[in-house]
Copies of this chain bind each other. A is one copy, B any other.
Amino acid sequence: MAKSAVTIVDIARELGISKTTVSDALIGSGRVSEATRQKTLLVAQRMGYVSNRAARLLRRSQTGALGLYIPGHVRNLSFYMEFAFGAADESALHDLDLTLIGRGVGSKRRSGPPQVDGLIAVDPLDGDPVLESLLGSDLPVVTVGRILDETQSHPLAVIEIDHYSMATALLEALRAAGGRRPVLLASDEKFSSSYTVDVSRAYADWCSGSGIEPVVIPLSVTPTDQELTATVQRIAAQNDVDALVSVAQGLAGRAAPVLQSMGRRLGKDFHLGSLVGDPATELRNPLIHAVDLRPREFGHEAVNFMREIISGQASETGRRNHRATLTAG
């Protein structure tokens, strides 16, 4: 608890100057002479001075924290975890705290919106009560992916990946490898975000552009092995199907052994694509074409976008893109 008891007043006394000057020297406002500035910094360091965050924030009326909201249903997908810690790291780098917002926020006991300077909401889903309660505050918000609800009135900034292009590129890569008849393993209706909309559209457009009949198979984002196996077997049983593209993270990787046990040779007569490459099972598997969303960097960028919004450098309703990559496959 013992905060470093040394304050700017102590430094001022030590140097025989005023605390105002010390403050200016420390901040680097350029008001003080370089000589006193250096002297002050030296003494500050020697005395082990650490700026009291609470006091600074109280003065500046900021909280020094960003809020991160991740919807519940998808939390065991590592993308979100990676994103979260990317965001935490970048926040820490800029002396911001990153506050995890659980579903408790919408509840009764909570005394109001979380104490943050801005909110980052990942994969915002229409009708999510926590999200709505968050949007009710007048904090700046960056959503990672778009909110689909047109009637949404809160000003929002959006950072997203061009999933349409990535999905198209993935389908092209699969075709180049020999996969001419890909089936889309889509998410079920419970998880309908701008991401799923974009990749579905990309798939539909690509199919129609290629004169191919689209086949979309819905599946839970976190299916049991039984569900997944049954679905994959059903798909692969169709003789003309020679490729499978998964919308949800990790399902291509889990489908691989199922297909192999059916005698399919991956990379030869059957091709797998993952639109959200799982780090361990898909991105590092040369037999799977996967999109690397670079979630950690994504987290960095979301935080920096928010920082720019807070500081007024970026618009509260700005749009920004994050670049994903395609593994060699």
Contacts and interface: CB of A to CB of B under 8 A. Distances in A.
Interface residues of A, number: 81
Given A53-B63, A103-B89, A285 B95 contact: no
B82 A102 contact: no
A85 B58 contact: no
B112 A48 contact: yes
Given A1-B140, A140-B1, A92 B111 contact: no
Contacts of A100: 68, 84-85, 87-88, 98-100
Interface in A249-263: 253-254, 256-258, 260-261
A65 interface: yes
Nearest to A287: B225
A129 interface: no
9 contacts: A1-B61, A50-B111, A50-B112, A54-B115, A76-B278, A76-B280, A84-B100, A92-B110, A97-B99
Contacts of A54: 53-55, 57-58, 61-64, 115
Nearest to A103: B89
A249 to B, nearest CB: 10
A324 interface: no
Contacts of A80: 81
A229 B95 CA distance: 44
Contacts of A51: 111-112
A68 B102 CA distance: 14
B89 A82 contact: no
A47 to B, nearest CB: 11
A117 B138 CA distance: 27
Contact of A104 (B3, B65, B88, B113): B88
A193 to B, nearest CB: 18
A128 to B, nearest CB: 14
Contacts of A254: 254, 281
Given A54-B54, A140-B1, A225-B281, A104 B92 contact: yes
A211 B76 CA distance: 39
A105 interface: yes
A280 B224 contact: yes
A77 B64 CA distance: 29
A93 interface: yes
Given A64-B115, A98-B102, A254-B254, 4 more contacts: A53-B63, A65-B97, A85-B100, A89-B104
